[in-house]
Structure 1
Amino acid sequence: MQICWSIRGSQFIGGAGQRALPIRILTVGKKRLPGVQLLVDEYIAKLKSYCHVDDVQIRSNPKNARNAMAQVDDEDIAVINLITSNDWVVILDERGLDLSSEHLAELLGDAGNTAASRLSFCIGGPYGHGQRVRKRANVSIKLSSMVLNHQIALVVLMEQIYRR
């Protein structure tokens, strides 16, 4: 099973001396449904022996619920503050590249050819990503032609990481 990407080259983990590129998933939104959290925890447990997966939840700011631009700006700043200069950033966006599972695995494998020390996936809130996150992203992908709730997108993303 091909699961995590190495820092050197686009080789998948499994060979001697390779170190897994850690994965961080930043999700903006409301508190997760218990069933979604159970699935996320299950995927993290499955991936644990292959690579480290850090699941970070960023709560939407309820104060800005009536002002979408202010909410996106607050969420944008919160996400940017959690991304380092050494992260290889993938944003999930309805206007992103439409990739098959195999092409996603290739794309993420290519991240190992960079100086990145971590793969960071960003799942935006109800109004999407702000300009700072969009500019910082190395690539933008979509998981479906349909718009997905951030909780569903998270589960689909975790499945794709696990499968590759």
Structure 2
Amino acid sequence: MGTALHLCVSFNPAQGRKCKYEAQSVRALPIRILSVGKKRSRGLQLMVDEYVDKLRYYCSVEDVQIRPNPQNARDQRAQVDAEDEAVMNLIRSDDWVVMLDERGQDIGSEQMAELVGDAGNTGASRLSFCIGGPYGHGRKMRERANLSIKLSSLVLNHQIALLVLVEQLYRSWTILKGQKYHH
């Protein structure tokens, strides 16, 4: 929404690998991750928690799980619509919304860091990342998202996508702060 809709969309790979914000002061927006999916395995949750804890050194982070198919719809379209509604109820008008989607903009780690840096300049009060359910995102989310990105050219299970996202957000902050990445 607004004029900042195309931030981070026109990356030029020929520009090299440096992030434009590296080691500069960046406004740290709170991050909220909204993911639709079944109960996570203990192993996955431990890994997600590890990266979320590392990320909290830089900004506040909220990991919100949304039950898939909240209305137990038999129809795939109805399931997506119900999940869409559940996610939209958690998004505020002043959120900067990034939708994870296999058809989204293909970005690298430096560009993810720029996305985080750019979001701090939008006037938004929170940066929300949305991971859809088994059948993807609904129409309302597609219309609301400020940006759509993909984490891989491979189609990722939503739980793997979540793990990749939190790891890349942590990596983004180490890039923004000009710090060494610690595994």
TM-score range, shorter chain: 0.7 to 0.9
**Unmatched 5+ stretches in structure 2:** 1-19, 173-183
CA distance in 1, matches of 2:124, 2:28: 12
Cα 1:27–1:67 change in 2 (3 A) is: same
Identify the residue that residue 117 of structure 1 maps to in structure 2.
Answer: 125
Number of the residue aligned with 1:103: 111
1:138 counterpart residue number: 146
> 2:108 & 2:24 partners in 1: Cα distance?
23
- Is 1:69 the equivalent of 2:77? yes
1:1-164 equivalences under 5 Å are 15=25, 20-61=28-69, 63-64=72-73, 66-164=74-172
Taking only aligned residues, the RMSD between alpha carbons, in angstroms, comes to 1.8
Aligned-pair identity (%): 69
Post-superposition CA distance 1:49-71 (Å, at most 9, x none): 2111000000112612x311011
Tell me, in whole angstroms, the C-alpha distance in 2 between the residues paired with 1:13 and 1:115: 21
Residues 130 and 55 of structure 1: CA distance in aligned 2, closer, same or farther (over 3 Å): same
Q: Structure 1: 5+ residue runs without aligned partners? A: 1-9
* TM superposition outliers: structure 1 runs of 4+ over 4 Å: 10-15
Residue 7 of structure 1 corresponds to which residue in structure 2? Answer: none
| Offset of residue 20 of structure 1 | 2.2
TM-score normalized by the length of structure 2: 0.78
Pairs aligned (count): 152
Maintained 8 Å contact 2:27/2:121: no
Q: Secondary structure at the match of 1:25?
A: strand
8 Å Cα contact 2:112-2:169 kept in structure 1: no
